[in-house]
Amino acid sequence: MLSKAPGGPETLELSEAPDPVAGAGQVVIAVRACAINYPDVLIIEDKYQFKPPRPFAPGGEVAGVIETVGEGVTGWAVGDRVIAMTGWNGLAEKVAVDAVKLHRLPDGRSFEEGSALMLTYATTIHALLDRGRLGEGMSLLVLGAAGGVGLAAVELGKAFGARVVAAVSSKEKAEAARAAGADETIVYDRAPFDKEASKALADRFKAAGGKAGFDVIYDPVGGDYAEPALRSLGWEGRYLVVGFPAGIPRLPLNLTLLKSCDVCGVFWGAFAARDPQANAAHAETLFRLWEEARIAPRVTQTFAFERGGEAIAAMAARQVIGKAVVRVAP
């Protein structure tokens, strides 16, 4: 599913391409499933942090079966079921991946589930523990709480002992957040907000945070939702900047002084590259929590390979609850 020129999902073309070859330290995976994430919306429009040379396929996380093993690869064999973070090129029948980016897909787990695990949960565990220092008995506000990273934040927040308030844009999404373990939900209106509407939303967030305010706010949404959320943060709280599907906000920095709080950027890809050992430790924790049924990827929509563009369009329109996955092969 190739992007040959910058544009929306409608510009993607299902085309033939040469089979990838496993270089030194790489494997080739026969892709069975590819999860869709918001970076896929941005990367085909040349709006993401990375701009791969065209033509390329979107799709940053896959699950499948190892087809060939390159020189120098140990611990992996043809036929192994794996999860891999590819960055892009996941919407393809085959993809070459560095072996260090592989995780073993546990027995009994589907390819669809496996493809939907790592990006959202790895981003979120890094955000909550490393950047947010979330701990037992703290309070956590999650914006966009019914999306992939949002539901991951709800589940991991509960797993780490926090009180979790989930903010969403519909009753259906509130139900999904409650099913994931949220202690309380807030259904907010769709932005843009005028000054009065912004204050009203801030008041609702403050009421949910209580007198002390929230210890941590997880924001994968941005836009007009950011300032009302920041106003509900408590003394020395941590505001986690994860993404901007609603737009890049401008925050009044006087609030950070008055609250003595931190505004923390969350760039999981760079973290994983800079500190692979810490990232691997987080991955071990995630697989343990998955085995214990304390987290579980929620695949709510599946698309045939030829409809991969529709999956990205649904993500762009913020219509996806949980994760959307493209079945590349049976």
Which residues is 30 bridged to in the sheet?
65, 94
My answer on whether 18 and 131 are in the same domain is no
Give tens-digit pLDDT for 213-222. 999 999 999 9
My answer on whether 233 and 316 are in the same domain is no
Buried b (16+ CB within 10 A) or exposed e, 31-56: bbbbbbbbbbbbbbeeebeeeeeeeb
Dig out the tokens for 152 from the structure: 């991951």
Residue 274 lies in a domain: no
The tally of domains found in the chain comes to 2
Give the model's pLDDT for residue 255: 96
With beta carbons less than 8 A apart as the criterion, state whether 148 and 123 touch: no
Give tens-digit pLDDT for 129-152. 999 999 999 999 999 999 999 999
Residue 283 lies in a domain: no
Residue 287 lies in a domain: no
My answer on whether 231 and 140 are in the same domain is yes
Q: Which of 231, 252, 269 is the last residue of a domain?
A: 269
Q: Which of 229, 251, 269 is the last residue of a domain?
A: 269
> How far apart, in whole angstroms, are the C-alpha atoms of residue 183 and residue 273?
34
Average pLDDT on 149-159 reads: 98
Give the model's pLDDT for residue 50: 87
Residue 292 lies in a domain: no
My answer on whether 229 and 98 are in the same domain is no
My answer on whether 169 and 264 are in the same domain is yes
Residue 318 lies in a domain: yes
My answer on whether 90 and 142 are in the same domain is no
My answer on whether 144 and 109 are in the same domain is no
My answer on whether 83 and 163 are in the same domain is no
Per cent of the chain over pLDDT 70 is 100
My answer on whether 79 and 176 are in the same domain is no
Give tens-digit pLDDT for 262-293. 999 999 999 999 999 999 999 999 999 999 99
Give the model's pLDDT for residue 42: 94
Cα 8 → chain centroid: 20
Give the model's pLDDT for residue 318: 86
Residue 275 lies in a domain: no
Positive or negative, the Cα torsion across 171, 173, 176, 181? negative
Which residue, among 135, 124, 109, 131, has the nearest Cα to 286 in the 3D structure?
124
Residue 63 lies in a domain: yes
My answer on whether 179 and 304 are in the same domain is no
What CATH number should be reported for the domain holding residue 24?
3.90.180.10
Average pLDDT on 51-59 reads: 96
Q: Helix axis angle, 171-179 relative to 148-159, nearest 10°?
A: 40
Mean confidence (pLDDT) of the chain: 96
pTM score, two decimals? 0.93
My answer on whether 303 and 197 are in the same domain is no
My answer on whether 166 and 261 are in the same domain is yes
Reply yes or no on whether the pLDDT at 179 is more than 90: yes
Residue 278 lies in a domain: no
The whole domain housing 263 covers: 122-269
Give tens-digit pLDDT for 87-136. 999 999 999 999 999 999 999 999 999 999 999 999 999 999 999 999 99
